[in-house]
């Protein structure tokens, strides 16, 4: 019988002991090590070369999305099962997109944990029942009724407009826009612009669009990395690019950012599979943005583009972790479809 070597990673010794006891009677399973923080985990992976990793994602010195992406790149054959108390749906989908093979909640029966380990080792995906139910409810819950003004504001948020630009477009004062947005967030049950835009994508009928995810596809969607991040300081160009993407791939989730910090936040929270970054980001460098995105989310493919490409930009971009460098004038619908097909489909 083939022996499967398992590494346990959790900052609580009693939890590690409980997991070890729970899987001890599984045939062919041997726990080869236990660690309690990020640095120890990376060292143990290199030294022990386990076949399966069971880990909590809230350990000290461990950045979940970035570290999972790095581990997945270094050990492509490693089976990774997250065992966590954290059930936030965005975070769960981000980790699944970053490359884990399954996500299990700590409060579930030990028999379910054993089943999760067996399924993951068999090459299957695993997501425990409460999380599947939560994701289904997330997609099936009816969207709240909105006024025409609220739908208008959501459309502006999706375009990536800030409050000043929204005020200019709508003819309202900035203070009035702020008040409207505060009430809108409360109405939708969200806390930020990013969450509001994500809410639109989860409820496409909210703005009179089609494209809801069928129930039978929900579990598959939970493991999808089919999301695109556009990083450009021009709202007009981001809008143009997003519309091109929407025509080619109506169901593709598109995030937008205009600064390095905003891009990093989206990369860590949402873990999109592809990022398209302009070389010039106002006073910031798109090449530096690519470098930081690559460090934060190694599994994400990064494409740089520029209206003024040259060989030096190309060389620096590839060194920063980009997989391609495009001229903006060559980025038409056909090129965009080919790019997304290659990276995400």
| Whole-angstrom distance, CA of residue 202 vs CA of residue 188 | 12
Name the nearest CA neighbour of 191 among 90, 267, 116.
90
Name the nearest CA neighbour of 275 among 304, 313, 246.
304
Report CA 243 to chain centroid distance, whole Å.
21
| Whole-angstrom distance, CA of residue 86 vs CA of residue 130 | 12
Share of the chain above pLDDT 70, in %: 84
CATH 3.40.50.2300-classified regions of the chain: 4-137, 225-345
Phi, psi of 337 (to 5 degrees): -60, -45
| Whole-angstrom distance, CA of residue 72 vs CA of residue 96 | 11
**DSSP per residue over 59-79, as a string?**
-TT--HHHHHHHHHHH-TT-E
| Whole-angstrom distance, CA of residue 25 vs CA of residue 27 | 6
Q: pLDDT tens, position by position, for the chain (345 residues)? A: 689 999 999 999 999 999 999 999 999 999 999 999 999 999 999 999 999 999 998 899 998 877 888 898 889 899 999 999 887 666 676 677 778 899 999 888 888 999 999 999 998 888 887 777 665 555 545 556 788 888 888 888 877 778 888 998 888 898 999 999 998 888 887 777 767 776 776 665 566 544 433 333 333 333 334 688 999 988 888 888 888 887 777 667 788 888 898 888 888 777 788 899 999 888 889 999 999 998 888 888 899 988 876 777 788 888 888 888 888 887 787 778 777 777 654
Q: 4-137: what CATH class? A: alpha beta
- pTM for the whole thing? 0.47
Q: 144-202: what CATH class? A: mainly alpha
Both ends of the chain: CA-CA distance in Å?
37
Considering the segment(s) 225-345 as one domain, its CATH architecture is 3-Layer(aba) Sandwich (3.40)
Residue 278 has what pLDDT? Answer: 92
Residue 215 has what pLDDT? Answer: 36
Residue 201 has what pLDDT? Answer: 62
Share of the chain above pLDDT 90, in %: 29
Q: Which helix (H) or strand (E) holds 250?
A: none
The contacts of residue 169 (CB under 8 Å, 6+ apart) are 156, 161
**DSSP per residue over 80-132, as a string?**
EEEEES---HHHHHHHHHHT-SEEEETTS-HHHHHHHHHHHHTT--EE-HHHH
| Whole-angstrom distance, CA of residue 240 vs CA of residue 155 | 14
CATH 1.10.10.10-classified regions of the chain: 144-202
């Amino acid at each position: 019988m083939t022996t499967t070597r398992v590494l346990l990673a959790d900052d609580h010794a009693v939890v590690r002991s409980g997991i070890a006891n729970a899987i001890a009677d599984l045939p062919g399973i041997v726990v080869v090590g236990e660690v309690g923080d990020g640095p120890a985990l990376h060292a143990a992976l290199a030294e022990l070369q386990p076949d399966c990793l069971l880990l909590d994602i809230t350990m000290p010195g461990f950045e979940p999305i970035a570290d999972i992406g790095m581990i997945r790149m270094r050990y492509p054959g490693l089976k990774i099962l997250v065992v966590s108390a954290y059930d936030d749906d965005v975070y769960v989908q981000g980790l699944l997109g970053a490359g884990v093979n399954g996500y299990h909640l700590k409060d579930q029966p030990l028999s379910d944990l054993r089943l999760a380990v067996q399924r993951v080792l068999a090459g299957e995906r695993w997501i425990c029942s409460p999380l599947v139910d939560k994701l289904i409810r997330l997609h099936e819950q009816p969207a709240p009724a909105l006024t025409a003004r609220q739908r208008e504001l959501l459309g502006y948020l999706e375009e990536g407009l800030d409050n000043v630009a929204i005020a200019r477009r709508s003819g309202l004062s900035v203070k009035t826009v702020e008040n409207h947005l505060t009430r809108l967030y409360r109405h939708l049950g969200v806390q930020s612009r990013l969450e509001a835009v994500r809410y639109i994508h989860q409820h496409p009928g909210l703005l009179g669009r089609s494209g809801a995810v069928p129930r039978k596809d929900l579990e598959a969607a939970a493991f999808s990395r089919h999301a695109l991040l556009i990083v450009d300081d021009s709202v007009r160009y981001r809008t143009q690019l997003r519309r091109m993407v929407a025509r080619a791939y109506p169901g593709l989730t598109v995030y937008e950012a205009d600064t390095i910090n905003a891009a990093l936040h989206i990369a860590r929270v949402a873990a999109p599979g592809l990022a398209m970054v302009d070389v010039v980001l106002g006073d910031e460098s798109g090449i530096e943005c690519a470098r930081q995105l690559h460090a934060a989310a190694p599994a994400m493919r990064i494409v740089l583009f520029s209206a003024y490409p040259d060989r030096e930009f190309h060389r620096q971009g590839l060194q920063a972790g980009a997989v391609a460098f495009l001229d903006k004038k060559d980025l038409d619908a056909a090129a965009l479809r080919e790019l997304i097909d290659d990276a995400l489909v």
